[in-house]
Homo-oligomer: A and B are copies of this chain.
Amino acid sequence: MNLDAKTAKSELTRAAIVGAGLNLVATEGLEALTLQAVADRVGLSKSGVFSRVGSREALQKAVIEEFGRRFLADVFAPSMQKPRGVPRLDEIVRRWLARMSRPDPNDCCIYVPGAFELDDRDGALRDLLLQEVTRWRAALRRTVLQAIEAGHLRADTDAEQLVSEIYALAIGLLHDTRFLRDPAAPARALASWQRLLRSYQT
């Protein structure tokens, strides 16, 4: 095996470790993410996992960051092709709601269950999650501000208020889909969003 092939194999192994970690977090929660638990899932020794990702903290960081990348790639990036303002905001929210409706437990979701898991627990893991969530809310707020600037939303729109309302809608949908397992939840959430958006439109 030449050096390139070795590097490629090592990157694949690392990706498998992070993917297994993401799946573990999605089903068991952030605190369940340990080197040993991931090692068991990918069929490596604990030291084998350590040699590829480092400490438990580094593994947690890698998994949360990987989730953030997938989330942005799913929800945010494709919406950039829509015109600034309400078309883009609407696309983001619809994509987000679609993601929340999807029952795939492999990568849905970390931000919300993680927030309720860690809300009382100060520490590096909470800080990391908070940083990611804060960044996502900031991106959403910028999109809302652009829609106000474009004259699509009323000039007196409180961007922070609308961001919180959108966030609550998405969390509520996740709750109704994943916990209540109510098949009518996605349609209800979409109707709520249309109603909410209308109430801010000029």
Binding site for B on A (CB under 8 A): 26-27, 29, 105, 112-113, 115-120, 130, 133-134, 160-161, 164-165, 167-169, 171-176, 178-180, 184-185, 188-189, 191-192, 195, 199
| Contact call A192/B112, Cβ cutoff below 8 A | no
* With A172-B164, A176-B164 as contacts: A120 and B27 at CB distance below 8 Å: yes
Chain A interface helix/strand/loop/mixed: helix
| Contact call B178/A168, Cβ cutoff below 8 A | no
Most chain B CB within 10 A, of A180, A184, A189, is at: A180
Known: A27-B120, A161-B191. 8 other contacts (CB 8 A): A112-B116, A115-B179, A130-B180, A164-B172, A164-B189, A164-B192, A167-B176, A168-B168
| Contact call B192/A168, Cβ cutoff below 8 A | yes
| Contact call B161/A167, Cβ cutoff below 8 A | no
Bound CA–CA A109/B78 (angstroms): 37
- Residues of B within 8 Å of A165, CB to CB, are 172, 192
Q: In the complex, what's the smallest C-beta–C-beta distance from A59 to chain B, in angstroms?
A: 21
| Contact call A178/B120, Cβ cutoff below 8 A | yes
Bound CA–CA A188/B130 (angstroms): 20
Q: Which B residue sits closest to A177, measured CB to CB?
A: B119
Q: In the complex, what's the smallest C-beta–C-beta distance from A26 to chain B, in angstroms?
A: 8
